Amino acid sequence: MSKRIAVYPGSFDPITNGHMDIVERGLEIFDEIVIAVARNSEKKSLFTIEERLHLIAEAHCNDPRVKVDTFDGLLVDYVVNQGARVILRGLRAVSDFEYEFQIAQMNHKLRREVETLFLMTSVPYGYLSSSIVKEVACLNGPVETLVPPIVRAALAEKCRKMKEE
């Protein structure tokens, strides 16, 4: 039987425990998950693409079922090139729904063979976003329950450098 592969796309600036929760639960369904960092995101980022890839890889402790990559261009083309048919996304709140619904429908129109699978974010992470974590960390708030330890250290370093500039 061929491997069941899902692509989990996003900006991951940085990866949080909410993202990790989606990956861990996704691994109960799929044999392999490709965490794909979008290169052409219009969001202003704190971490470079290379830093984000490194943090994701370290956070997953080299689990062979988790691949880390970047992509340019249309997500659905990337998904098909990976030999996958499923896009994995997390839904945190009703407010996520409209945006995700629109993207999932467009992706399905672009490539009918690609489906989007949504997992409801676990209760402790319902309020979490990368932006909120960055804000709390740079104001010296506690983020140890929100991000993996390697991300906490990287955030502290980034925020310290930003304050020095």
Contacting positions for ligand COA (CB under 6 A): 9-11, 13, 16, 18-19, 22, 38, 41, 43, 74-75, 90, 92, 103, 106-107, 121, 125, 128-131
- Closer residue to ligand COA (CB): 28 or 164: 28
Q: Which residue carries 């309020």 as its tokens?
A: 127
47 close to 13: Cβ distance less than 8 angstroms: yes
Given the residues 54, 65, 85, 92, the one annotated as active site: 92
How near is the Cβ of 164 to ligand COA at its closest, in Å?
24
Q: Is 131 a catalytic residue?
A: no
Catalytic (active site) residue 19:
yes
Q: Are 10 and 23 in contact (CB under 8 A)?
A: no
Helix (H), strand (E) at residue 106: helix 94-110
* Residue of 39, 43, 131, 160 marked catalytic: 43
Name which of 13, 16, 3, 14 is nearest 90 in CA terms.
16
In the complex, minimum distance from the CB of residue 116 to ligand COA, in angstroms, rounded to a whole number:
10
Residue nearest ligand COA, Cβ-based = 18
Contact 115, 86 (CB under 8 A): yes
- Is 54 known to be catalytic? no
Supply the residues annotated as catalytic.
Answer: 19, 43, 92, 130
